[in-house]
Amino acid sequence: MTKYVYLFEEADGKNKQLFGGKGANLAEMTRIGLPIPPGFIITTEACLEYYANGKKLPTTLMTQVRDKIKELEKKTGKLFGDPDNPLLVSVRSGAAMSMPGMMDTILNLGINDRVVDRLTRANGNGRFVYDAYRRLIQLFGKVAMGLDDSYFDVILGEAKKKVGAKFDTDLQVQTLEEICGDFKRAIKKELGREFPQDPWTQIEIAIEAVFRSWMGKRAIDYRREFKITTDMANGTAVNVCTMVFGNMGNDSATGVAFTRDPGTGANVFFGEYLVNAQGEDVVAGIRTPKPVLHMKRQMPKQYKELEQVRHILEKHYHEVQDFEFTIERGTLYILQTRNGKMNAAARVKTSREMVRENLLTKEEALLRISPEHLEQLLHRRIDQNTRVKPLAQGLPASPGAAHGKVVFDADQAERRGMLGESVILVREETKPEDIHGFFRAKAILTSRGGKTSHAAVVARGMGKPCVVGCEAIEIDDRNKVAIVDKHHILEGDVVTIDGATGYIYLGEVPTVEPEFSPDLKTILRWADEIRTLGVRANADTPKDAAMARKLGAEGIGLCRTERMFNAADRLPIVREMILADTTQERQQAVDKLLPMQKSDFKKIFNKMQGLPVTIRLLDPPLHEFLPSVESLVWEIERLKEVKKSLEQMETIPDSFKVLLEPSLQELVPPVAHVLKELSAIREKELFDELVEKKEEILRKVRETAEVNPMLGHRGVRLGIKHPEIYKMQIQAILEAAAELIKDGVDIQPEIMVPQVCTSQELKQVHKWMDEIRGIVEKKYDICVLFRFGTMIEVVRACMRAGPLAEVTDFFSFGTNDLTQATFSFSREDAEKKFLPLYNEMQILMDNPFEILDIKGVGRLMKITIDYGKKTNPKLKVGICGEHGGNPRSIEFCHTLGLDYVSCSPYRAPVARLTAAQAKLREMARDKADLENPDYPFNVFFQDLG
């Protein structure tokens, strides 16, 4: 016979899967001697059995329950169903994971007509007895029998009106007795069944009701929302617990307490209680409870006991606890405890303080802060004290809150931003050419696109607040207006957006500073002591570099030179370079770029003194620097139209003369004057020249156009076809380095080649490098040390990692491109067209562009490292794709033995913490797991696919 039922003292307080969280903790608290009312637990196994049997209780279950009730009777000296001395119990739900309010609990089981009648007569406290009965019928009727709450509410409401009672507590015996009668009649009338008088029937139905609530809509929705899988919680346990009463007079009370303040983390006793009330009254807000500190005066003895419980609980659980208590006629009982939910700041503060108090080790403290928590702390937030109604909600794409004036295009964002105005860039969706607007905008809002849309990705990279896909907003950028419901938002109107929640507000909503508190700094310092994985940042500008350093990055893992090419003063020269007809012309343009790049590099090296800086040679296809075909065609047509209009205007004076209207005749001289000026312009043939120039550009743009540019002429392929570009960049890097070395600055340059697929490509670039290095070293009379490496973002590079490693000092996985290459997905198309469906159908569990595809891309990384280290044991390996900032991916990188991850500067603290957690979890792993030949994949493979 399977044992389904355990007394609190029999159950294993560590086994939440079997006993549920509430049950396990009741067992544990009983074991450590806290005052818990006697009770027992029906296991989750019984719940699963119930469903497996087509919703029938296991046959032996009720016999086992009867046995345990006997034990409760022995302990309490009361008898179940006995009218003179009845044992009353609660039947409470509780799964392995806490799902507050999602499942059902029934109180006061064991009362019936006979019991109330005799009890009232016996002890004279009829009010109390009938109130308990009324609660039982109400809860039982609703939860176990399924009668809608409103029937009871109406009856209760009318009864209160009749006697002029404001609160339930104002009701007298007689009214309560009537209410009980009305409740029972309502059940009979609406359901055609009686409220069961037999306590054994009551308890059986109640147990079933708790089992059923596991598959209730509320509970199912909750599990889906919070991604609670069956290996986290499977079925609910049922806790049957002797009733204790907080509503037996002024020496009774009930309350909820936290061992520390969950809002601030401060080490103060925190909670609320109500005198002469039952547990659910506190939660239901029927009366306003008092802070638990008031008990010190009102019930000093019990307060002292509670303080003791507070310390015992923290000492035992090594975690902040959230617990329920009830005082019955002066005696304290604890009814529940669980780990306290806290906000991010409180979690950080308590982590630090509990280490100081020897309640936690540093390691435990680090593990109890999730990377998501940390993220919350690193951004400006909406002040939680303000209660402003949001206007609309989109998808929260990049956390942080900001307010500013609405602008509808990137140029305007740039212009106004440069003038020092706070602006929010609002668009249907954004494109790469909007990037200059991003730099100057405080935040970005789009009405279309998902969390991986261009706007979202770029904003996250820059650490700017961003809300995307806010479909309630209709954007008309030609007329510069956004419409939400009846609100018209015009350019210049102020809005506030919250990238953590996706809310949009009209006007300015107060925000608060991110909290980089001393506590957080300490926690991150501990993380740095423990982690072995390096953390670098992707940074393209000196400003980003400074931020990276400030946030604890230990170098730059990716500095993209194309961003420097895109700057307003560079772009015309870059275009010159691309459009040049002869090598000589091209060289001229390149020569102009050299000093600019050199000064960029010097600034970044300077900011990163003592730390490595990886500079990637030019990567994107050239057409990205050119205007689009559409815009050129449009411009050319406009120019031609203007020219034609001018020609037509010249005939105006002649037409006026022909018309012989005196009023028109008067106009002939001024019009003729204007026309003379205009024809002077025309004679200069400005328009023809412009049209010609634009047409020439258009021809070139068409020439450089590629069918599939991302697989086309880019990266090292471009470098080899146009050596002058790469040579210029190498020279700029080496000269910048030489000049700084001369000034005594400690620098560690690294040159990285993108898109490599064969070692021959690397050898070619290396040859140029050797030549240039010779020239530079001679010019400055100094030795320039640097490292040479390649990105790994092509599948062939993975398979040929051996030869690649022979000519390089480091590999850096460019997992954005490598993911595209591995899946043969084009990212933009995939995310727009079919990835959401794939996720929904669970063909793919995640978006592989957000969360590293460990099974596919991860395998390739492993193969690459194995091959690479075989030919070059000193090879350093890092990652610089967006995945470098994703916690799960960071953990995998650690496990794979990478030397560093490189992520957006704003994610560096998250990476530092995650790297430490990865190390700690690795240390805690079983030997068998570690020695598994498939390690680390065996520990990461838990899902489908």
CA 495 to chain centre: 23
Picked from Mg ion, ligand ADP, none, the partner binding residue 155 (CB below 5 to 8 A depending on kind) is: none
36 binds ligand ADP (CB under 6 A): no
Q: DSSP secondary-structure letter at 141?
A: I
Q: Of 47, 757, 798, 880, which is the active-site residue?
A: 880
Q: Distance of CA 260 to CAs 269, 618, 675, 715, Å?
A: 5, 54, 83, 55
Q: How far is the CB of 253 from ligand ADP (least distance, A)?
A: 12
Site for Mg ion (CB under 5 A): which residue of 814, 868, 878, 885?
814
Q: Which is nearer to ligand ADP, 72 or 608 (CB)?
A: 72
Please, what is the minimum distance in Å from the beta carbon of residue 101 to Mg ion?
9
The structure tokens listed for 316 are: 């035992």
Contacts of 43 (CB under 8 A, 6+ apart): 4, 5, 6, 18, 19, 237
Residue tagged active-site, from 373, 403, 454, 722:
454
Q: Establish if 146 lies at the interface with ligand ADP (CB under 6 A).
A: no
Q: Are residues 163 and 175 in contact, defined by beta-carbon separation less than 8 angstroms?
A: yes
Tokens (6 digits) for 761: 């490509």
- Which one of ligand ADP, Mg ion, none is in contact with 789 (Cβ closer than 5 to 8 A by kind)? none
Q: Does 523 bind ligand ADP (CB under 6 A)?
A: no
Question: Based on CB atoms, which residue is closest to ligand ADP, 95 or 636?
Answer: 95
761-782 in b/e burial notation, b at 16+ Cβ within 10 A?
bbebbbebbeebbeebeeebee
| Rg, Å, the chain Cα set | 36
Q: Which stretch binds ligand ADP (CB under 6 A): 237-245, 634-642, 777-785, 936-944?
A: 237-245
Instruction: Kindly state the smallest distance separating residue 277's Cβ from ligand ADP, in Å.
Output: 10
* Residue partners of 519: CB distance under 8 A and separation at least 6: 348, 349, 351, 352, 353
Of 93, 95, 36, 63, residue with least CA distance to 243: 36
How far, in Å, are 163, 192, 544 from residue 185 at the CA level? 21, 10, 72
Question: E strand or H helix at 807, and its extent?
Answer: none
For residue 834, report the phi and psi dihedrals to the nearest 5 degrees. Answer: -130, -15
Q: Identity (one letter) of the amino acid at 321?
A: Q
CB of 248 to ligand ADP, least distance (A): 11
Choices 205-213, 415-423, 474-482, 817-825; region in contact with Mg ion by CB under 5 A:
817-825
Task: Identify which of residues 196 and 814 has a Cβ nearer to Mg ion in the complex.
Answer: 814
Site string for ligand ADP, 52-91 (x = CB under 6 A): --------------------------------------x-
Q: In the range 305-334, which residues lie near ligand ADP by CB under 6 A?
A: 324, 326
Cβ at position 842, least distance to Mg ion in Å: 29
Out of 92, 135, 338, 602, the only residue in the binding site for ligand ADP (CB under 6 A) is 92
| Binding region for Mg ion (CB under 5 A) out of 225-233, 717-725, 766-774, 816-824 | 816-824
Cβ atoms of residues 864 and 801 within 8 Å: yes
Each residue 251-290 as x (binds ligand ADP by CB under 6 A) or -, in order, gives ----------------------------xx----------
For residue 559, the partner it binds in ligand ADP, Mg ion, none, with Cβ less than 5 to 8 A by kind, is none
CB-based closest residue to ligand ADP: 279
Does 243 bind ligand ADP (CB under 6 A)? Our answer is yes
The CA-to-CA distance between both ends of the chain, in Å, stands at 39
Q: Which does 101 bind (CB under 5 to 8 A by kind): Mg ion, ligand ADP, none?
A: ligand ADP
DSSP assignment, residue 622?
Answer: G
CB 389, min distance to ligand ADP, A: 29
Cα 738 versus chain centre, distance: 43
Instruction: Kindly state the tokens that stand for 615.
Output: 């500079």
| Cα distance between residue 820 and residue 284, in whole Å | 53
Contact range with Mg ion by CB under 5 A, out of 315-323, 325-333, 336-344, 762-770: 336-344
Q: Least distance (Å) from ligand ADP to the CB of residue 321? A: 14
C-alpha torsion angle, residues 149, 155, 161, 166 (rounded to 10): -40
Residues 336-365 that bind ligand ADP (CB under 6 A): 336
Instruction: List beta partners, residue 445.
Output: 426, 467
Asked if residue 820 binds Mg ion (CB under 5 A), the reply is: no
Judged by CB under 5 A, the number of residues near Mg ion is: 4
Shortest distance in whole angstroms from residue 263 CB to ligand ADP: 20
Find the binder of Mg ion among 326, 336, 337, 541 (CB under 5 A). Answer: 336
CA angle 417, 423, 425 (to 5 degrees): 110
* Residues between 526 and 555 that touch Mg ion (CB under 5 A): none
480 secondary structure, DSSP code = T
DSSP letter at 79 equals B
Q: Is 454 assigned a catalytic role?
A: yes
Q: Which amino acid is at 19?
A: F
Gap between the Cα atoms of 29 and 331, Å rounded: 17
- In whole angstroms, what separates CA 636 from the centre of its chain? 46
What is the pattern of x (binds ligand ADP, CB under 6 A) and - over residues 93-112? --------x---x-x-----
Residues that bind Mg ion (CB under 5 A): 336, 793, 814, 817
Q: Among all residues, which ones are annotated catalytic?
A: 454, 880
Residues that bind ligand ADP (CB under 6 A): 37, 90, 92, 101, 105, 107, 241-244, 279-280, 324, 326, 335-336
